Structure 1
Amino acid sequence: MRAGVGRADITPPVGIPAGGWGNQAHEVSEANDLELWVTVLVVSAPDGARAAIADIDLCILDDGQSARARSVIAAAADVPFDRVAVGTTHNHSVPVTLELGGAWIRKNRELVAPYLETVFDAIGRAAAEAAAAMRPVRVGTGRGTSPLAVNRRMTTPDGRAAVGLNREGAVDHTLTVVRLDGDDDVPVATIVHYACHPIILGPDNTSVTPEYPGIVKRVVEASLGGRCLFVQGACGDVGPSELFVPELSSYRRLGAMIGHEAAATAQRSSWRRHRLRLRQGEESAWIASFEYEPDSEPDAAIRVAHEVLPVPLRDDLGDAATWRAEAERCEEAAYAARTAGAPHAEVRELTVRTKFARMRAERGTALEGLDAYPLLVQGIRLGPVALVGVPVELFSEIGASIRDTSPFRTTLVASYWNGYRNYLPTDAERPRGGYEIDISPFRPGADALVTAAAGRVLEALR
């Protein structure tokens, strides 16, 4: 197998609209803490098959933006469009990229479109750099754990489901690492996979940051060399053990924690297994004599498979125009309250109502006239490793089920791949309600449909 990695800076200008939170009081960023990156991995097999994976330090790219990013990579790296995967880390401490994130923000809106053009340009430069840097690699894998993730669907004292901390809820602490080692056994690329919303920083943070995935990448690269990509897992109902804090030191500290755990896992994960064999007839009185068994060449196959799954939609999504009118009404009230110097709590509440109405309006417009959403389930095989991703926020148990029934020993299940269409919960969680259930556009049974489709894609990769 051959692989190359490219990277480009996508740090925005200070003052760009930043709408990662419905209950924030600010509109725009006030500082950049660390750079945001786009990192592109391009791989090719001995038979000439190629594929590419992009890791982008943003919250969401919608279906159209993701398609454009895939097209840019395809052209720059000479990879067929359907063999390109684009994923975001789902970081909430970043600029607005689409309507559902920040249409309620009026200040400096003119900065968003030019910034997005610089992002697409950076994606192309990173892809071209990766294609030009291809060299032989061998794939090794390892699995560890990190305690960062906690189920976030808590029950409030009055019985409501809310985004918070539910330490008894379903969560997957698995930390998976994939190394693509050069001939010098130094990684050309390391892929880190973990499932946890990057929401250590909360609505009071006004700085653009790469959140904990950005720190993970920096720590792993400092330890191993090469470039690190972060693949976000099934974290729809999972957040960090410390969340919604304003101090930048918190995301750096927790990011370093999981970064060192990932680096340690990677240090144990070379493709070389160093299997020992006892030398017969050479034992001394005190010390046994061993020799290393030669390591076999790892699988170098690259395969890509996908399925477009029609996932049935709920029939109670509401009218997009009605939601848009509600959003405009709430927005006017929020700005009037802000101008009048109303208490932060009042401004926050009106902002929440505005943003949620905007999200429902966007959902209704995007799905208007459809009975089912065409969900792209895409899989990429890197030798002994399978990655399978979807453009939704999967709940943790769905991701674990797909992984545990996979025919591959190492399987990475990704959310936020190749677009975005809200949450996909388990049916078991639907009766509890809450934000994730309310905004999900899918009917009951969607979890089983997606799990089965992912299984079919993984079988096709095998």
Structure 2
Amino acid sequence: MLFFQNRIPAFRTRIGLLAVALQLLFSLGSQAIDPKATGFRAAVVKVDVTPEGHQMLLGYGARRSTGVLDRIYHRITVLDDGKTQFVLVSSDFAVVSPSEYDKVAAKLKSQLGIDPVNFWWTLTHTHSAPEVGPPGLPALFMGDRYQHKFDTDYTDMVEKKLIDGVAEARKKLEPARLGVGWGMAQANINRRAKGVDGKAFLGMDPDGPVDRRIGLIRLDKADGTPMALISNYAIHGTVMGGENLLISGDAPGVVAQYVEEQLGIPLLFINGAAGNIAPIYSQYANHKIGRLHQFKTLLGDKIIAANQSLKATTADISLKTARMIVETPRKADLGWVDDLKDYTRTNKAGVNIVKLPVRFLQINDDIAIWSAPLELFCEISNEVRDRSPFPYTFYFGYGNGWLGYLLTAEEITHGGYEVTVSPYTPAAAKDLTDSVVNHLQGKK
């Protein structure tokens, strides 16, 4: 345009004005007609959040780190179908309070205009990573563990790197394709061992309920070259035990790093309903004699095999998000914590209620993903999957905070550790299952 104007400076005024107008139109509207801004786009970013100094570790009893075994990360993906932009974050931490999620979600809304319904922050549930933010509900059950203040400087860094990572991913959005598939790994086991008296304790139950499916989503670039994997598998991050003082992503982090080294693309490890599921090697005091490395083959190679069997991807992608609040009674005479006042209420009958936020992501007509801030027992997510009309139904656990263990009514009768850190009554499993299934089936 400038070349045209310089060659014919005396062109008639109205034509000149038209040229200026067209130039302005192209300048202001370039993104609207940019082919990269239409159709399905995606991007992924990996951000190191390993602390510089020693930190209080979350998981087991209160203890301070002495070093780093393996580095920990935010892994961030942004999906955009031209109408809906969805942000998924997988971070190598145990849990955060829903109030911490709300704080970060509010910042993303203010700074980047992202609606919280489209921002999911999931945790891999490693028990060897630092605390982030206030304790939230765990302080109600394990008050002795929190006789210290959380590190605000480290929390601020974690928050800033997450927000900056999302902003970076949005800038990197490019045309993409998406595929979905299943895999299977026998890297986990039911951990609710039971004695002859029927009482449960932390151990191994080879005959107990388990979920060994790997749910896999692959993102490719427009030319079919791989961009990233999203892997969904239920496993506690407890290969390393409470005596370990080295920061680690535990099995989820080690597996993610291994797959990334093998395939050359990021892997977002999304934990599932791991409330009663442990790694088959668990709670080692010393990483040198532990079995972290074995999960590279037990689970990492199985993720790679699932990826190899995933043949078809498509650029024709539609994203649809939704949310609901599932209300269920909380245990009688159980208190609450001040920073979670928005997650409870008292009904007209005087019953204290827990308000459970549940999120949904539907991708086209065959993928349904739901998430909740729960340490969910696998029987519940298994039933939801079995009753779902979507052939690919995934549960993304430890999502957007932690509101305790949610057990089946049957398992509550056996007692055990998980019952002591659950705010729910035996009605909760049915309340949650029915609400989620009704939503997936399109019922009100």
TM score, norm. by length of structure 2 = 0.82
Deviation of 1:456 after TM superposition, in Å, equals: 3.3
Shift of 1:368: 8.3
AA aligned to 2:299 is I
- Residue identity opposite 2:68 in structure 1: N
| 1:45-444 alignment, distance < 5 Å | 45-46=81-82, 48-75=83-110, 77-97=112-132, 98-99=134-135, 100=138, 104=144, 109=148, 112-156=151-195, 160-248=199-287, 249-272=290-313, 297=314, 299-317=316-334, 371-383=352-364, 384-444=366-426
Aligned to 1:355: none
1:17/1:105 CA distance change after superposition, 3 Å: farther
Match of 1:450 among 393, 414, 432: 432
Give, in angstroms, the shift of residue 366 of structure 1: 7.7
Rate the CA distance shift 1:75–1:132 in 2: closer, same or farther, 3 A: farther
Asked if 2 retains the 8 angstrom alpha-carbon contact of 1:72 and 1:120, the reply is no
Give the match for residue 345 of structure 1: none
Is 2:344–2:355's contact at 8 Å kept on the other side of the alignment? no
Q: Distance in 2 between matches of 1:106 and 1:227?
A: 34
Task: Report the Cα distance in structure 1 between the residues aligned to 2:338 and 2:104, rounded to whole angstroms.
Answer: 25
**Deviations 1:70-112, CA, capped at 9 Å, x for gaps:** 23444555432221111111111111233337864689x5671
Q: Judging changes above 3 Å, is the alpha-carbon distance between structure 1 residues 105 and 442 closer, same or farther for their aligned structure 2 residues?
A: closer
Counterpart code for 2:78? V
CA contact (8 A) 1:423 1:439 kept: yes
Change over 3 Å in CA distance of 1:220–1:185 after alignment to 2: farther
Q: Alpha carbons of 1:114 and 1:104: their partners in 2 closer, same or farther (altered >3 Å)?
A: farther
**How many equivalent residue pairs?**
392
- Partner of residue 64, structure 2: 28
Q: Mean Cα displacement is larger for which, 115-124 or 362-371?
A: 362-371
Work out whether residues 188 and 227 of structure 1, in 8 Å CA contact, stay in contact via their aligned partners in 2. Answer: yes
Asked if the contact 1:38/1:54 (under 8 Å) is kept, the reply is yes
- Three-state SS of the structure 2 residue aligned to 1:432 is coil
Partner AA of 2:358 in structure 1: V
- Matched to 2:86, the amino acid is A
Does residue 4 in structure 1 map to residue 36 in structure 2?
no
Cα contact 2:98–2:340 (8 A) shared by 1:
no
Question: Mind listing any 5+ residue stretches in structure 1 that lack a counterpart?
Answer: 273-296, 321-359
Query: Is 431-440 or 217-226 further displaced after alignment?
Result: 217-226
Contact 1:19 1:105 (C-alpha < 8 Å) held by counterparts: no
1:428-458 deviations in Å (ceiling 9; x for gaps): 1111011112221112121111112222333
Aligned to 2:5: none
**Partner letter of residue 451 of structure 1?**
T
Q: 1:26-75: CA deviations, max 9, x gaps?
A: x21011111111112111114x2211111111111111101122234445
8 Å Cα contact 2:343/2:354 also seen in 1 = no
Q: 1:79 to 1:147 in 2, by over 3 A?
A: same
Once the 2 structures are TM-superposed, how far is the Cα of residue 367 of structure 1 from its aligned partner? 5.5
Distance 1:85-1:363 versus aligned 2 partners, 3 A rule? closer
Q: Contact 1:42/1:51 (CA < 8 Å) preserved in 2?
A: yes
Question: Is the 1:73–1:79 contact (alpha carbons within 8 Å) kept by the matching residues of 2?
Answer: yes
CA distance in structure 1 between the partners assigned to 2:129 and 2:184 by the alignment: 27
Letter in 1 for 2:129: V
CA contact (8 A) 1:150 1:166 kept: yes
SS in 2 for 1:123: helix
Q: 1:361 to 1:28 in 2, by over 3 A?
A: farther
Which residue matches 1:41? 77
Q: Provide the rounded CA distance (Å) in 2 between the counterparts of 1:142 and 1:308.
A: 29
8 Å contact from structure 1 (residues 215, 256) kept in 2:
no
> Computing the radius of gyration over CA atoms, which structure comes out larger, 1 or 2?
2
Counterpart residue type for residue 102 of structure 2 = A
Secondary structure of the structure 2 residue equivalent to 1:259: helix
Distance 1:362 1:19, change over 3 A: farther
Q: Secondary structure at the match of 1:200?
A: coil
2:331 is aligned with what amino acid?
A: R
Give the letter for the 1:126 counterpart: G
| Amino acid of the structure 2 residue aligned with 1:91 | T
User: Over residues 104-135 of structure 1, what are the superposed CA-to-partner deviations in whole Å (9 max), with x where a residue is unaligned?
Assistant: 4689x567111111100110111011101111
Counterpart CA distance in 1 for 2:339 and 2:194 is 28
1:309–1:375 contact (8 Å) kept in structure 2: yes
One-letter identity of the residue aligned with 1:253: Q
Describe the shift of the 1:365–1:70 C-alpha distance in structure 2 as closer, same or farther (beyond 3 A): closer
